Amino acid sequence: MKTPLLPCVKWIAAGLLMVSTAAAAGELQLIVGATGVADEFGYAVSADNNLMLAGAPGEADQTGAAYVFRCGGGRCIQEARLSDLTLDPGHHFGHDVAVAGADLFVSAPDQNGGVVYAFNRAAQGVVVPVAALVALDGEPLDRFGTALAVDADTLVIGAPGDNDNRGAVFVFVRDGGSWVQQFELYAWDGLAGDGFGMAVAVQGDRISVGAPFDGGLGAGSPYARGAVYTFTRANGLWSPEAKLVSSTAQNGDLFGRSVALSATRLVVGTPGAASGLGRVFWFERPSGSWAPAGNTGPPTPIAKQRFGWNLELNGNDVWVGAPFTALNTNPSCGAFVLLRDTAGTLSPATVPALRNPLPGDMTGWRLAAWGSYLYAAAPGRNISLEQQGAVAWFDAVDQIADGSFEESIACP
């Protein structure tokens, strides 16, 4: 194993951040400001260019907040804290987040039927509110904003509680500088309890939607096997494309708990497979239609680690979260895995390891990647307070020159 180059690991926590050099070790150390108990900073993360947006839905008695960071050059600096005066305890602002260019989105799915707040990052890093988006036909308990995805001028919002938990997905587009609802999507064969909209992804004119409870919520058979639906857009209209299911479906698989989408590949997390061990499936379109292309379980199986809980595509590579992974009998330390694409085949590759993982960290709960950067959220991390939460930041370029991550178990 190579000796890690600088920097090794940077922990990001809500508060003013500074990075300094530890003279004795010669390694970058992160100084973080404290927040509150059970803030769960990192419950959601998203990244684009050198920006990282992180949600802390537990902050201020679950009113919630979100934080904007600018990272690069071996340092990560907080630019803004986002919230809203209309929020009340239990609204969970920061439950999900999304960033694309200068556009930032933060959801509060438990504010009435759900609200998604749009912000714009202006010059000098000033973040200004743009709009509070709601469903045109929204109702209490819809949980509008449970999942977010954005690509250029298209914003996709999941509302898995809509219509007795059948679920719905709302598509907003930018029109003359404003975000307006363009379409509302449903599963064409949806049933109560499917949870359609629990996970969403968008790439160009295609959307994928997870319905992890497809098959029912009861104890009968089948239940919670899961499904993923895809839709395509032409001339401003969205149409159903395909329904995908696991080739080895079993009760409780939760196929579609997470989804990731590129122009040529759809990746689906199935964290309940094999009694909670978890599995990831991917599909490709060699002839214009989605077809199974492969699947894999965790490279180091650990019971009930929920491999596939979260997914992040970075180019052709796939990052996979397994936040319930136990280490040395300690529960829910968490882990994440890189599936490296080699000539169209995905296979596990070496990734950084966190030093001193703690029970309850849940590292890998959410992942975000952009270029050489990876952000691995650990919303249960105790920094100075219980479940304060943190995000580990890795920069492949700073670690080793060939662009892959080096193991960093020696980092302080």
Cβ proximity of 55 and 104 under 8 Å = no
Task: At 124, give phi and psi (nearest 5°).
Answer: 60, 20
* Closest-CA residue to 212 (of 255, 179, 154, 270): 255
Structure tokens at 292: 């199974």
pLDDT number for residue 225: 95
What is the CB-side half-sphere exposure of residue 12 using CA atoms within 13 A? 30
CB 231 within 8 A of CB 246: no
Residue 388 pLDDT class (50, 70, 90 cuts): confident
* Residue 72 pLDDT level (bands cut at 50, 70, 90): confident
Residue 21 has pLDDT above 80, yes or no: no
pLDDT band at 287 (very low <50, low <70, confident <90, very high): confident
| Phi, psi of 195, rounded to the nearest 5 degrees | 70, 30
Nearest-CA neighbor of 127 among 44, 56, 39, 66? 66
For 231, left (φ over 0), alpha (ψ -120 to 50), or beta? beta
**Among the listed residues 253, 166, 262, 134, the one whose alpha carbon sits nearest the alpha carbon of residue 207:** 262
Q: Quick one: which of 146, 120, 145 has its CA closest to 133?
A: 145
pLDDT exceeds 60 at position 19: no
Write down the pLDDT at residue 402.
26
Answer yes or no: is pLDDT of 8 > 70: no
Q: Which amino acid is at 212?
A: P
353 band by pLDDT with thresholds 50, 70 and 90 = low
pLDDT for 204-253, tens place per residue? 999 999 999 998 666 566 789 999 999 999 999 999 999 999 999 999 99
- Confidence (pLDDT) at 163: 95
Query: Above pLDDT 70, what percent of the chain?
Result: 85
Q: What is the mean pLDDT of residues 8-32?
A: 36
Q: Which residues contact 211 (CB under 8 A, 6 or more apart)?
A: 167, 187, 190, 194, 195, 196, 197, 198, 226, 227, 228, 229, 256
Higher local confidence (pLDDT), 350 or 247:
247
Query: What value does the mean pLDDT of the chain take?
Result: 85
Tell me how far apart the alpha carbons of residues 332 and 304 are, in angstroms, rounded to a whole number.
9
pTM, two decimals, is: 0.89
pLDDT-wise least confident of 68-82, 290-304, 392-406 = 392-406
Give the percent of the chain with pLDDT over 90. 65
More confident residue, 233 or 377: 233
Radius of gyration of the chain (CA): 20
Read off the tokens for 41: 């900073």
Non-local (6+) Cβ contacts of 252 within 8 A are: 223, 224, 225, 272, 275
- Which amino acid type is present at position 119? F
Q: Range with the lowest mean pLDDT among 4-8, 168-172, 308-312, 369-373?
A: 4-8
What's the mean pLDDT in 107-111? Answer: 97
Task: Name residue 296's beta-bridge partners.
Answer: 280
Q: What is the C-alpha to C-alpha distance for residues 217 and 403, in angstroms, rounded to an integer?
A: 44
Which pairing describes strands 154-159 and 147-151: parallel, antiparallel, or unpaired? antiparallel
Calculate the CA dihedral of residues 49, 375, 67, 360 and round it to 10 degrees: 170
What do you get for the CA distance between the two ends of the chain, in Å?
A: 17
For the ranges 124-138, 213-227, 308-322, which has the lowest average pLDDT? 213-227
Q: Is 60 exceeded by the pLDDT of residue 350? A: yes
pLDDT at 351 over 50: yes
Sort 9 into a burial class: Cβ within 10 Å, 0-12 / 13-18 / 19+.
buried
